[in-house]
Amino acid sequence: IQLTQSPSSLSASVGDRVTITCRASQDISSYLAWYQQKPGKAPKLLIYAASTLQSGVPSRYSGSGSGTDFTLTISSLQPEDFATYYCQQLNSYLLTFGGGTKVEIK
Amino acid sequence: QVQLVESGGGLVKPGGSLRLSCAASGFTFSDYYMSWIRQAPGKGLEWISYISISGNTKYYPDSVKGRFTISRDNAKNSLYLQMNSLRAEDTALYYCTREGRMGDYVFDYWGQGTLVTVSS
């Protein structure tokens, strides 16, 4: 299952609303997770089951979608949110990740 | 607190072998499925192996199948990755990950990674 993220990068300002999309090559129901990775750090789980926030993750993060189209939204971008975001499909044991979306400071 | 500490990375020649280890602490290791995920320099994430609690079920993508072997020792709270016939494209940071309780294949804890460089 291929996952295509868009955009591959974006520039935004603190306080902006940011949306990242992830499209699956076939129906994966709600079997999708999102991770955040900062430079030099391991990825961190943000959302699983497409829309369930991992414990401790700020509520400005939200996920939506099912089937083949999914979105990660940051409602009001904070300085600590500048990072690369990856989606991951959980539908098949042949796990795959999207190519990543780098969120940079405008 | 949950800790995953990888070791065993280094520089190896093409065709060579390497064994990675991951020491787990802060949780009951024998209760969790585990995986290895890698990241080539400046690139995205690639899942490369998965092992069940008992160690009887293992999965690999085609890119490493037949060359890499995942294993675990629940008595030692340790996860391993034996890598043979290494290629330049195996150069990456290798992460040990834990599958959380929130569903299959969701990775809630990651180690800091161990770097493998395949070069002559």
pLDDT in tens, B21-39: 999 999 999 999 999 999 9
Neighbours of B86 (CB within 10 A): 21
Give pLDDT, residue B51: 96
In chain B, the residue whose alpha carbon lies closest to the alpha carbon of A42 is: B112
What mean pLDDT value characterizes chain A? 96
Per the structure block, which two tokens stand in for B105?
């294949």
Q: Which of residues 12-31 of A touch B (CB under 8 A)?
A: 31
Cα A80–A83–A86 angle (5° rounding)?
A: 130
In angstroms, rounded to a whole number, what is the distance separating the alpha carbons of residues A93 and A100? 20
One-character DSSP codes across B44-71? -EEEEEEE-SSS--EE--TTTTTTEEEE
For the ranges A26-40, A60-74, B54-68, B94-108, which has the lowest average pLDDT? B94-108
Query: Over 80: is that where the pLDDT of B76 sits?
Result: yes
pLDDT of residue A36: 98
Select the residue from A5, A38, A95 to test the B interface by mutation, using most B Cβ atoms within 10 A. A95
Among the partner-chain residues B44, B59, B102, the one whose CB lies closest to the CB of A97 is B44
In our burial notation (b when 16+ CB lie closer than 10 A, e otherwise), range A48-70 reads: bbbbebbeebeeebbbebeebeb
Residue type, B48: I
Confidence of residue A106 (pLDDT cuts 50, 70, 90): confident
pLDDT, average across residues A62-74 = 98
pLDDT over 80 at B103, yes or no: no
**A1 Cα to chain B: minimum distance (Å):** 12
CB contact under 8 A, B113 and A42: yes
Q: How far apart are the C-alpha atoms of B29 and B27, rounded to whole Å?
A: 6
Note the Cα B6 to chain centre separation in Å. Answer: 8
Q: Which of B102, B104, B110 is facing A43, going by the closest CB pair?
A: B110
Place of tokens 């098949």: A92
Q: Do B102 and A49 count as a contact with CB atoms less than 8 A apart?
A: yes
Residue B4: CB partners within 8 Å, gap ≥ 6?
B22, B23, B24, B96, B97, B98, B109, B110, B111
